[in-house]
Amino acid sequence: MSLSNSQIEAASRFWKEGGWELKLVFPKRQDAITLKVKAIVLNALYGTNINAISQVANCLERVLRTNHSASPDLVEELVDEMREVTNHNNYSFAAKYAHFFINSDLPILDSYAEWMVGKHLGSMKSENPKRYLRFNEDIETLKEVAGLTCNCAELDAYLWVAGEYWYWKAYPRSSINGDLKPHFERLAKDPESEPTLVALLGIGVTAENALAMPL
């Protein structure tokens, strides 16, 4: 699948029009109390479904006390540490925490974003065995081959919406984001009612081919 800067710009408009822009403002100090509050709020707002969030916050504190890196490797280290508590690879939470509170240039990883990047890159996907490092490399490749000038947050806005849309097209009865679903249903009935979404998905000119995209 091709991708253009105009689609990324449309994604920014789509988020702004929907009132979904979220700015989290927290103190920059990484003391235990502040860090725990950040973890709890992030878990609640983004539904990352971590039950032992206080224990996870302690994991974050242990890592960040000694690791002052802001590179993708930090996310992998956070995931490794959190696994000792949750018995899961909590990539989505770790990536979101790192993006919002450590380095906004670190991409947000979730299943929809990961899936859409794969659709755009095809055989050019990285073969790195570590999931977040692989995703980060794929993001950089996508930016390069598509000539994108956006930042990670702007690209994430596109990847999430587009990923949810194409998944919904393939599985109409699937449980997707409740705020997005009405937009998708209106688009299906009357494309002209959702011009920003049409621009985001890049289906304005080649709608027939795009809507038939194999999943």
Per-residue pLDDT at 204: 62
pTM for the structure as a whole:
0.80
Segment 161-192, tens digit of pLDDT: 999 999 898 888 888 888 899 999 999 999 99
Segment 4-22, tens digit of pLDDT: 999 999 999 998 887 665 4
Q: Which residue has the tokens 């996870």?
A: 56
Please give the Cα distance from 201 to 166 (Å, whole number): 9
Please give the Cα distance from 64 to 98 (Å, whole number): 11
> First vs last Cα of the chain: how many Å apart?
12
Rg (CA), the chain: 18
